[in-house]
Amino acid sequence: MTRIIDGKAIAAAVGNRVREDVAALAAAGLTPVLAVVVATDDPGATWYVRAIGAAARRLGIGCHVHDLGPAASAAAITGLLAELSSDGRVHGIICQTPLPPAVPPGLAAQQIAPIKDVDGANPQSLGMLAAGMPGAFPTATAAAVAEILDHEGAVLEGRRAVVVGRSTVVGKPTALLLLARNATVTICHSRTEDLAGVCREADSLVAAAGRPKLIGAAHVRPGALVIDVGISSVGGTTTGGVAGDVDTGAVTGIAAAVTPVPGGVGPVTTMQLMRHTADAARDLAG
Ligand code: NAP
């Protein structure tokens, strides 16, 4: 039987730990503060920023949204990120995407000091993660995948893990976190030959391609843990549904467990962002 992993319950468990950490910091006179820089009116981004604010409030974390509007210039965005990086009252910084078309995302992220880069956006953070250096945060999504696998008791050491997707936001940092847990990691992408065959080698399979139903029965080894990171809109904007990368019906009875979409990786990602912000506040306080 295939278990559906309850991402909301895992997020609640992470939230409880963060709340305790935040209370301990507050007792020492420190309230963690997350700054969210927004330069878009994308509805998905607006929804996510609201969710971040609500989660921060519930946990006692300060959340300051800096909305520059969708026409913000590169100079305004990079200037604000640099200012926040040197502001001692701010502990975590994220720059919401999408950015205005004229602003290269890498340019903005490079202005976020790695110690405050709680969503692992600065390429320097990814480099530090790859080098196994302390002091850098992985992206919240990659941290969420690792958290779910840990929570599910996945045996990673010495076992095969396959990540479908090689983006700097999900695929690469996730692969690095699994490698750090001593898994034997394969990264797949759009040019991978025999995707199903490679995925079938996985004890832990992470799907992060953004292609609905890409992963079916032929991709899953019996007993594998399957983490579905994909979120794609389906059925048009009025009906508003989302789908993951995994054809859950097809893998039921083959996988040991699978995360649902929605209600799997998403809620855990938001909580990892909160955890990183509390950790950054503690690190900055020395
Ligand atoms: P992305 O930048 O578009 O990267 C997608 C990756 O998937 C690329 O590496 C691409 O390969 C690969 N890919 C695409 N089609 C494929 C195929 N048919 N077979 C094998 N690989 C294929 O997307 P992303 O930012 O990594 O996000 C991936 C998904 O996760 C999206 O659905 C996104 O919405 C979702 N997401 C979820 C969360 C969350 O918290 N739950 C957070 C972030 C993203 P190439 O490199 O060869 O093009």
Nearest-Å Rg of the Cα atoms of the chain is 19
Taking CA atoms, 238 is separated from 13, 60, 261, 262, in Å, by 33, 35, 18, 17
Among 119, 164, 167, 227, say which to mutate for ligand 1: greatest number of ligand atoms within 8 Å of CB: 167
pLDDT at 239: 55
pLDDT at 187: 99
pLDDT at 235: 76
What's the per-residue H, E or C state across 112-138?
A: CCHHHCCCCCCHHHHHHHHCCCCCCCC
Q: Which residues line ligand 1 (CB under 6 A)?
A: 141, 164-167, 169-171, 188-192, 195, 208-211, 214, 229-232, 265-266, 269
Contact 119, 137 (CB under 8 A): yes
The span from the CA of 159 to the CA of 179, in Å, is 10
pLDDT at 237: 56
Tell me: cis bond preceding 262? Omega within 30 of 0 counts: yes
The DSSP secondary structure of the chain, one letter per residue, reads: -PEEP-HHHHHHHHHHHHHHHHHHHHHTT---EEEEEE----HHHHHHHHHHHHHHHHHT-EEEEEE--TT--HHHHHHHHHHHHT-TT--EEEE-SSPPTTS-HHHHHTTS-GGG-TT--SHHHHHHHHTT-SS-PPPHHHHHHHHHHHHTT---TTSEEEEE---TTTHHHHHHHHHHTT-EEEEE-TT-SSHHHHHTT-SEEEE-S--TT-B-GGG--TT-EEEE---EEESHHHH-EEE-SB-HHHHTTTSSEE--SSSSHHHHHHHHHHHHHHHHHHHHH-
The span from the CA of 10 to the CA of 229, in Å, is 15
User: Ligand 1 atom closest to Cα of 265?
Assistant: 41
Cα of 278 from ligand 1 centre, angstroms: 28
pLDDT at 238: 54
User: Ligand 1 atom closest to Cα of 189?
Assistant: 21
pLDDT at 77: 97
User: Ligand 1 atom closest to Cα of 191?
Assistant: 47
User: Ligand 1 atom closest to Cα of 269?
Assistant: 40
pLDDT at 54: 98
pLDDT at 240: 65
pLDDT at 90: 98
Q: What is the mean pLDDT of each run of 10 residues along the chain (286 residues)?
A: 97 98 97 98 95 98 98 97 98 97 90 98 98 96 98 97 98 98 98 98 98 98 98 74 96 98 97 98 94
Among 10, 231, 234, 247, say which to mutate for ligand 1: greatest number of ligand atoms within 8 Å of CB: 231
pLDDT at 148: 98
Cα of 224 from ligand 1 centre, angstroms: 21
Residue of the CA atom closest to atom 40 of ligand 1: 266
pLDDT at 106: 86
